[in-house]
Structure 1
Amino acid sequence: MQNDSQEGRLSELTPIEPPKPVRGMPFGWFWPMASGAAIALVLRIVFSSAPGNPYSAMLGSFVYFVPAVCGAVTVYMAERIERRSWGYYIWAPWVATSLFVGGTLLVFIEGLICAIVIVPLFATMGSVGGLAMGIVCRITNWPKQAVYSFAMLPLVLGAIEPQLPNPDRYSDTSRTLFIAAPPERVWHELNAAYDIRPEEVGDAWAYRIGVPMPVSGVTVDTPEGRVRQVQWQKNVHFEEVITEWQPNRLLKWRFRFSPDSFPAGALDDHVMIGGQYFDLRDATYTLTPRDGGTELRVAVSWRMSTSFNWYADRVMHLMLADASQNILRFYKARAEATATAAAR
């Protein structure tokens, strides 16, 4: 009896024989990837809760494990047809996760902004899941049980994770540009940016992927002090409360958002600025006189609060650094144009 038991346990760990190829299925190469994408899409529908609740799409249990499930299911279904290469375990999940993200766009679950910035991370996690399932298929006789376990993991963790606090990460970026105009002219443009046209700012990466473009930014006097009132496209509006005011030298404000600052559909609803996961904190413009003009420096700071800050913060740094450089070019063009016109 003991020998029979030992032989049974050994048989479970014996590498399985490669499945015999199954030919004749139309588009057989595609179905494993489509299956992985479909399972991930179902899980995305499950993870549709509001921020802070179980099964929110901003949870690490979704961001890390759902694309891994996508990759694992892809490889499992492919291995049922025939033995695949190690390279397949890596690249096939890339296709599957791309199909998954495309599917979320088609059914309007996900917005374009999040879809674009998350694809690299999803592809990486998909490959991790694909490699793990490939190993299971090669060295064990229980790939079906393994793929079921993969699929259950995000569901279990998605119910638990909201009870754990997200770490806060504070970051900043700065950019500098020379403007061939006096500080007085640059200062005026900073406080009276009217009628901003899309062609003046549209080169920024953030605007290319769907972030609404600025329309105006105007400083006004209010009972509480100076406030810069900002309008973006899609009826986005918010305030920049000025905390430091040194005419022609320094301008600093803190961002203030209200519940109606971002109408539905203006941004991806689960990553609202000023929300639980992300917030813009303050911005500082420093004007330094130089020969023939002004050196304008902008510094922006923000907070990121997710379980994947290491990735989200890098994406935000790239986007805000690019947007900062873009807005400096906007002020440069306007200040130099008005300075030239005044000199005529």
Structure 2
Amino acid sequence: MRTLLAFLILSASAFAGEPAKLPRPAGDALDAADKSIHSIFDTDLARAVKPSEKATLAKSLVKIADETPEADHNAERFVMYRLARELAVAGRDRATAFTAAVAIAKWWEAGAIATEPGETAGASAGESNPALGESNAAPSESNPSAGESNRAGASAGVGGASAGVGGASAGVGGASAGNCVVSGNWPGEKYFDKAQELWKDAAKAPRSDERLRLESEAAEWYAYARPTATGINLLLIEKRLTVEKEAATVVKVAKAATKTEKDADLKLLIGTWNVDVGKEWHAKWTFFADGTVNSTSGISLGKWIADAKHVKIMWNDTKWESFARPIRRNIVAGDSQEFGKGSVSATKVKARE
């Protein structure tokens, strides 16, 4: 208990020294900055076609924005962070999308909170940037996990089972069915409530790119709420904003694995598989070369990593399935943390399906 209290006190005091926030760019100043940044990076934006290229450009924009003096280029920095987030979403780079979102909350005042259905929350979300093009990051199947018991999502969360934080854990994909939070009048409550609303909307999103967009918007609102949050609310915010730290390492390992001749079978993994787990659970899993995997049921976004004997698919901190290696062209078998050894079978979906 003392350790928990110490964490909460230190976390709350850590944000007391944050810099005074700048007025959020708007109107003519924002329009001019947006045109300027797009003019400067027009060639880079045109060349960033693949998700990995968009993610790389997003990282570059964050770095440039971090190093740009805020006093002289307030609106331009804001636009770079906003554009970086959009590119990171299109590039399936959760870490960079969240980094850009938190930077916006660190330096600028919060935007107006949207209240009408269908209205976009936060000035930094804006309309889709035509320079980004359509995202080819995710399959278009609807995610049936919203509103039903998530096969791979029941986790104790940060506070453990007794605390009840994230009764259905965010996991790798980040969506939660509901959370035990403390309500009451506190300065950041309206931001926290908006973040919670967006996070729940993300759980219902039919595509992983739309889900990540909503979660990255939620991250900005969580960051606005964090300086005045306490107790269980602060624990939940920290969980949401730090859950993706290990993703970059996993992606690097996954990419490295596909480069060696002995791992040539992993090329067969890339694509979509019809998967049965246990006797009743079925989904389509789509594997990408960057180490991510989408599912049409349960948690919709996970990550995969290969060792000598298995491809392990991780859905959150505790839930996983695996495929046995070597990967065969048409059918594979594997294990499940929940359903046991030999409970997974999968067949590759042909291109015409």
TM-score (norm 1): 0.27
Q: Greater strand percent: which structure? A: 1
State which structure, 1 or 2, has the greater radius of gyration over its C-alpha atoms.
1
Higher-RCO chain (CA-CA 8 Å, sequence separation at least 6): 1
TM-score (norm 2): 0.26
